[in-house]
Structure 1
Amino acid sequence: MASQVASQDLPKPDHARNMRLIGHSDQGGRPDGVQLMVNKGYAYTGHMFSKGFSIIDVRDPRNPVPVNYIAAPHNTWNIHLQTHDDLLLVINAKDMFAASEFQDEKQYYTGALGQKVGTAAAQAAAARDWTAGLTVYDISRPAEPRQIGFMPVAGGGIHRIWYTGGRWAYVSALLDGFTDYIFMSIDMSDPANPREAGRYWLPGMNLAAGETPTWPPQRRYGLHHPIISGDTAYAAWRDAGLVMIDVADRTAPKLITHRNWSPPFGGGTHNCLPLPDRDLLVVLDEAVLDNQEDGLKLIWLFDIREPTNPVSISTFPTPAEDDYVRKGGHFGPHNVHENRPGSFVSSELIFATYQNAGVRVFDIRNPYRPEEIAAFVPPAPARLVDHRPNRPRVIQSCDVFVDAQGLVYSNDYNGGLFILEYQG
């Protein structure tokens, strides 16, 4: 395993306020990370380009140590994952950024993904060279995942999961015959044999059933992922905005309401985080193109006291201490810490990543005037793991996870794992 840097050799941030770097890891020479989970003192990170996922021992956060790497199947993404107790769930999908058709990332973020991948027309499965589905691992020995189950899906695969234990998991799935990712509930009562329970999609997505899209062809009407609170799934549907789904019957999800603010705003809805004790909903629109070509993206705060009529009441401030638009790469929101059980849970502090503007912390005690109270912008990565052409060597902070003790973990497409103390 790669040796870890001493504390005095920690990367020097480009900007820091009320946050202090205490640990860093190149994740065993695979510094690219997408989704990040911390469970029982171990960080699990899915890789965007290194084709698998890694495990880092963070029991001593000042000396994180890579302990394992699990390779993905051929031509397959393992970018997103979930942990709970002794289970690890990992997505399997076509490695989109290894495909020639998506070397220009605009092609990935615009139009019907299923049509570009070929799954909307239900091509023969024999022609596919990737694995599609959900893998379940036993992590009772945290550094040594043992596969115990796999649920295949017919299509491009699964993009992201929501699982916090118990019987039900929820995913976004790119299935044969659909224009893009749809909502699926999964029965996990037997973790060795997960199985589909129910589906929901927006009318117009099911081409195989003769439906016709009603939105412009350049739009991506596809589910990024849901977060579930009680019997409601709060689903981020990219260019279609917010979709709230009643999942009281997990086998027959049904629509509560659909709200979309794009246009005039730029779309790309990525997270919908409910704060049930305050009847609030944090909704984040992802910046997906360089130099803000897709417009200013925002984090919104909705009042959801009346579930059938969510109302936007404020937006979070955009980082402005530097000219991040000109810096290069993506500038704008990407992810929020999602208040998972067992982690740091707050309805007043929101932790978010802003890609080339690093990690931000917001105070929303006054829901009508969110304010930024802390920030950490890592330096440019030492090298690019991103193999796509013409990518700038700038930080692209991707995910953020805050543990129960308040330590902040963040990763990057190229820069490794950063462990931070929030000092607010």
Structure 2
Amino acid sequence: MTVLLRRISLIVLGLALVTLGARPASSQAPTRGHAAEAHDMELVGHDDLQGRSAYQPTIHQQRGRVIAYVGHHGGKARNPLTGTEEDNGTSIVDVTDPAKPAKASTVASGLTSTHKNFWECDTGTAYLISGDLVKTDPLQLGPSGWRTWRMTKIYDLSDPTRPVFVRDFGLAGQQPGSSGPIPVAHGVHGPIVLGNRVYFAYGTSGEGLLQIVDRQKLLSGPKEPTAANLNAPEISRLQMAPNWGGHTAFPILRVPIADWAPNTKEQTRDFVFLVSEAIANECRESRHASFVVDITAETRPFGVATFQVPESKGNFCKRGGRFGPHSSSESFAPIFYRKLVFVAYFNGGVRAVDVRDPYAPREAAFYIPATTERTGERCVTNGTRSCKVAIQTNNVEADERGFVYLADRANTGLHIVRLTGEAAKITGGN
């Protein structure tokens, strides 16, 4: 296994012809909402993605080009090329020149919705998030019988023309035929694979759980979804507080702790950066955060630090939309790995987190994009309905060149940024 592992993170793959109209970075002056804000980070390029609500950007180098694949939330939008309204699908953007994202197109037909998946490019193994639970109270199961909104279906797609089903996987107690309380009814959000480990984040925004799994046992062990078989590949789990959930579990392994250099043992440690998703507009929920979990002793994961953006830094709870973390970057690119993690923070934009000392993570930079005429309103009701226009940076990814990609949930498009100043020096840049 290598770190040439990539995500296919597509919310909806429907009938779609997505042809992208690129806009230069200079088009960011808003006519409503708010202007851009930044510290040690600057905008390089922007594409409006036809005003489609965007989810996970996945970046690949292919045949001398750099391509951004952006999965979208469900819905429809007008395609300016054809003049017709078309289902959202997957936007494909040539970002070889990040200052001038180039339009591209794709057709995806005959497919249905999924959520956040992971594909091992070197083996073809795909971890696909699925689920058909109807409701939990009272319990009403879907055709599969799984007692969770989301579980993992694993396929061997090394030959995409002949997909081979490997197994279903989830927590014991979620499987068909089980009884009693459902462990994490919301289910898994997304797996990340590194080496012989799979890191599963469950719960998304509440009743969360981090699970570390032996990949070889997961793929080669008994496949029938019994409690014993589901527990067999598990190395450990960490139960989160009920008001926090697991959205993204990003492994940061073999981190040298500079202050521990004089010590004679364990100066290098392993961690998971665990993100809990904010889900309510204008802070009408518990505050969410990101957590650093020490997994050096794999069977005893232990939380050692928390990263938050103070609301008082930007009066974020009154700006409109969600405020708080959604997800982290998942790039193993050497320019950033073990140095910086990027966290999508909804109306707080993207936050660059210095994790060189994982026991004391700190903010190194941030960028909050400007709203545009495409940015959608976010509303709350408290006797009367009130709506505001604010950026909603939804997901973020980084590439090996040092560019960071922000996908906006509120239809503002794809922003491409880079570090400047002291933050750039962390990566060895100027």
- TM-score, length basis structure 2: 0.72
- In structure 2, relative to structure 1, the CA distance for the partners of 1:73 and 1:294 (3 Å cut) is farther
Which one-letter code corresponds to 2:346 in the other structure? Q
State the aligned residue count: 347
Of 190, 198, 208, the match for 1:240:
208
Of 394, 397, 400, the match for 1:398:
394
Report the equivalent of 1:315.
306
- In structure 2, relative to structure 1, the CA distance for the partners of 1:277 and 1:317 (3 Å cut) is same
**Gapped runs of 5+ residues in structure 1?**
95-111, 124-174
Structure 2 SS opposite 1:248: helix
When structure 1 is superposed on structure 2, of 350-359 and 288-297 the one drifting more is: 288-297
Structure 2 SS opposite 1:277: strand
- In structure 2, relative to structure 1, the CA distance for the partners of 1:197 and 1:244 (3 Å cut) is same
Report the equivalent of 2:330.
338
1:181-200 paired onto structure 2 within 5 Å: 181-200=150-169
- Asked if structure 2 preserves the Cα contact closer than 8 Å seen for 1:232 and 1:246, the reply is yes
Structure 1 SS opposite 2:309: coil
Provide the C-alpha distance between the structure 1 equivalents of 2:376 and 2:334, rounded to a whole number of angstroms: 29
- Asked if structure 1 preserves the Cα contact closer than 8 Å seen for 2:209 and 2:240, the reply is yes
Provide the C-alpha distance between the structure 1 equivalents of 2:123 and 2:198, rounded to a whole number of angstroms: 24
- Asked if structure 2 preserves the Cα contact closer than 8 Å seen for 1:31 and 1:417, the reply is no
- Asked if structure 1 preserves the Cα contact closer than 8 Å seen for 2:325 and 2:344, the reply is yes
Would you say 1:205 and 2:178 are equivalent positions? no
Structure 1 residue 299: Cα displacement: 0.6
- Asked if structure 2 preserves the Cα contact closer than 8 Å seen for 1:33 and 1:398, the reply is yes
Structure 1 residue 185: Cα displacement: 2.9
Provide the C-alpha distance between the structure 2 equivalents of 1:399 and 1:60, rounded to a whole number of angstroms: 21
Of 103, 113, 122, the match for 1:77:
113
Report the equivalent of 1:66.
103
Report the equivalent of 1:172.
none
Q: Deviations over 1:132-160 (max 9, x none)?
A: xxxxxxxxxxxxxxxxxxxxxxxxxxxxx
Provide the C-alpha distance between the structure 1 equivalents of 2:22 and 2:98, rounded to a whole number of angstroms: 12
Which one-letter code corresponds to 1:245 in the other structure? V
Which one-letter code corresponds to 2:101 in the other structure? P
- Asked if structure 2 preserves the Cα contact closer than 8 Å seen for 1:269 and 1:286, the reply is yes
Provide the C-alpha distance between the structure 2 equivalents of 1:412 and 1:14, rounded to a whole number of angstroms: 14
- CA-based RMSD of the aligned residues comes to 3.3
Structure 1 residue 184: Cα displacement: 3.4
Report the equivalent of 1:122.
142
Provide the C-alpha distance between the structure 1 equivalents of 2:240 and 2:92, rounded to a whole number of angstroms: 39
Q: Deviations over 1:224-272 (max 9, x none)?
A: 0111222221110013321222222213362222222222xx2231011
- Asked if structure 2 preserves the Cα contact closer than 8 Å seen for 1:205 and 1:213, the reply is no
Would you say 1:36 and 2:4 are equivalent positions? no
**Gapped runs of 5+ residues in structure 2?**
1-18, 77-87, 222-231, 256-269, 424-430
- Asked if structure 2 preserves the Cα contact closer than 8 Å seen for 1:244 and 1:258, the reply is yes
Structure 2 SS opposite 1:411: strand
- In structure 2, relative to structure 1, the CA distance for the partners of 1:59 and 1:255 (3 Å cut) is same
Provide the C-alpha distance between the structure 2 equivalents of 1:86 and 1:58, rounded to a whole number of angstroms: 26
Name the structure, 1 or 2, with higher relative contact order (CA <8 Å, separation 6+).
2
- Asked if structure 1 preserves the Cα contact closer than 8 Å seen for 2:93 and 2:102, the reply is yes
Structure 2 SS opposite 1:38: strand
Which one-letter code corresponds to 2:67 in the other structure? Y
Provide the C-alpha distance between the structure 2 equivalents of 1:372 and 1:274, rounded to a whole number of angstroms: 19
- In structure 2, relative to structure 1, the CA distance for the partners of 1:45 and 1:86 (3 Å cut) is farther
Structure 1 residue 332: Cα displacement: 0.7
Report the equivalent of 1:107.
none
Q: Deviations over 1:382-409 (max 9, x none)?
A: 2356899977432110111111010111
Which one-letter code corresponds to 2:100 in the other structure? N
Provide the C-alpha distance between the structure 1 equivalents of 2:28 and 2:157, rounded to a whole number of angstroms: 41
Which one-letter code corresponds to 1:243 in the other structure? Q
Provide the C-alpha distance between the structure 2 equivalents of 1:407 and 1:185, rounded to a whole number of angstroms: 31
Would you say 1:9 and 2:27 are equivalent positions? yes
Provide the C-alpha distance between the structure 1 equivalents of 2:402 and 2:38, rounded to a whole number of angstroms: 17
Provide the C-alpha distance between the structure 2 equivalents of 1:24 and 1:381, rounded to a whole number of angstroms: 11
Provide the C-alpha distance between the structure 2 equivalents of 1:70 and 1:116, rounded to a whole number of angstroms: 36
- Asked if structure 2 preserves the Cα contact closer than 8 Å seen for 1:7 and 1:62, the reply is yes
- In structure 2, relative to structure 1, the CA distance for the partners of 1:11 and 1:212 (3 Å cut) is farther
Structure 1 residue 333: Cα displacement: 0.6
- In structure 2, relative to structure 1, the CA distance for the partners of 1:386 and 1:92 (3 Å cut) is farther
Report the equivalent of 1:158.
none
- In structure 2, relative to structure 1, the CA distance for the partners of 1:71 and 1:200 (3 Å cut) is closer
Would you say 1:254 and 2:233 are equivalent positions? yes
Q: Could you tell me the percent identity over the aligned residues?
A: 26
Provide the C-alpha distance between the structure 2 equivalents of 1:385 and 1:85, rounded to a whole number of angstroms: 39
Provide the C-alpha distance between the structure 2 equivalents of 1:189 and 1:386, rounded to a whole number of angstroms: 42
- TM-score, length basis structure 1: 0.73
Would you say 1:407 and 2:403 are equivalent positions? yes
Which one-letter code corresponds to 2:303 in the other structure? S
Which one-letter code corresponds to 1:403 in the other structure? D
Provide the C-alpha distance between the structure 1 equivalents of 2:215 and 2:46, rounded to a whole number of angstroms: 40
Structure 2 SS opposite 1:267: coil
Provide the C-alpha distance between the structure 1 equivalents of 2:209 and 2:129, rounded to a whole number of angstroms: 25
Provide the C-alpha distance between the structure 1 equivalents of 2:419 and 2:354, rounded to a whole number of angstroms: 13
Q: Deviations over 1:147-198 (max 9, x none)?
A: xxxxxxxxxxxxxxxxxxxxxxxxxxxx443322123332233232222213
Provide the C-alpha distance between the structure 2 equivalents of 1:23 and 1:86, rounded to a whole number of angstroms: 33
Provide the C-alpha distance between the structure 2 equivalents of 1:86 and 1:60, rounded to a whole number of angstroms: 30
Structure 1 residue 120: Cα displacement: 5.4
Structure 1 residue 202: Cα displacement: 1.8
Report the equivalent of 1:226.
191
Provide the C-alpha distance between the structure 2 equivalents of 1:88 and 1:66, rounded to a whole number of angstroms: 30
Of 418, 421, 427, the match for 1:421:
418
- Asked if structure 2 preserves the Cα contact closer than 8 Å seen for 1:2 and 1:66, the reply is yes
Structure 2 SS opposite 1:325: helix
Provide the C-alpha distance between the structure 2 equivalents of 1:87 and 1:363, rounded to a whole number of angstroms: 33
Structure 1 residue 117: Cα displacement: 12
Structure 1 residue 325: Cα displacement: 1.4
Structure 1 SS opposite 2:142: coil
